[in-house]
Amino acid sequence: MPIPPAKAPTATDYARAGRLREALTAFNRTSDAITRKHRLTVQRYQLLLMVKTARDGTERASLPELRERLALAPSSLVELVHRAEDAGLVRRELSPTNRRLGYVALTSEGAGRLANVVADLAAARATLSRHLAEVTTDLVAPRTAQSGTRGRRPKAGRRS
């Protein structure tokens, strides 16, 4: 038997959830089409993006970092990297200080395709950002209105 939520969702909660899901679905559909246009799968696009935006700023990512950021099992990640390498999108590198640690870096082909996808997705990212801002504003505004302060803090020494 399902456990009831602590507070039942309101019609507004459902509307916000629906708008958010709709915006995410539209973004994913656009993203899928654009990645295909540039001869990439969504998984390969995500791999290239995570390599380019490696946490240490080197534009090369370790396998443990990629596994974490892409939320993939080790065997799935190795297969994804292998296929991307076969397609000429990435190359594997060994760490100069730790020969057991492998890195993935973009090839010029991978970097070029990634740049094209990111550029082509700019409008879709902006639209998604607007939708997220609207949903977030909707979530914050009711609490501010309920407090009676209309978003302002009471002045020191005054009671509200």
Beta bridge partners of 60: 105
Which tens digit of pLDDT belongs to each residue from 47-65? 999 999 999 999 999 999 9
Coil, helix or strand at residue 91: strand
- Tell me the angle at which helices 63-70 and 74-86 cross, rounded to the nearest 10 degrees: 110
Closest CA to 70 of 99, 79, 5: 79
Closest CA to 81 of 44, 41, 32: 44
Instruction: Confirm if 143 and 35 have CB atoms less than 8 A apart.
Output: no
d(CA 83, CA 75): 12
Which tens digit of pLDDT belongs to each residue from 96-144? 888 888 999 999 999 999 999 999 999 999 999 998 998 877 565 554 4
Instruction: Confirm if 102 and 63 have CB atoms less than 8 A apart.
Output: yes
Helices in 42-107 by DSSP H: which ranges?
42-52, 63-70, 74-86
Q: Locate 131 and state its tokens.
A: 């939708």
User: Taking the model in full, what pTM does it have?
Assistant: 0.78
d(CA 129, CA 137): 12
Which tens digit of pLDDT belongs to each residue from 15-53? 989 999 999 999 999 999 999 999 999 999 999 999 999
What the chain holds in terms of domains, given with CATH numbers, is 14-135 (1.10.10.10)
Beta bridge partners of 105: 60, 91
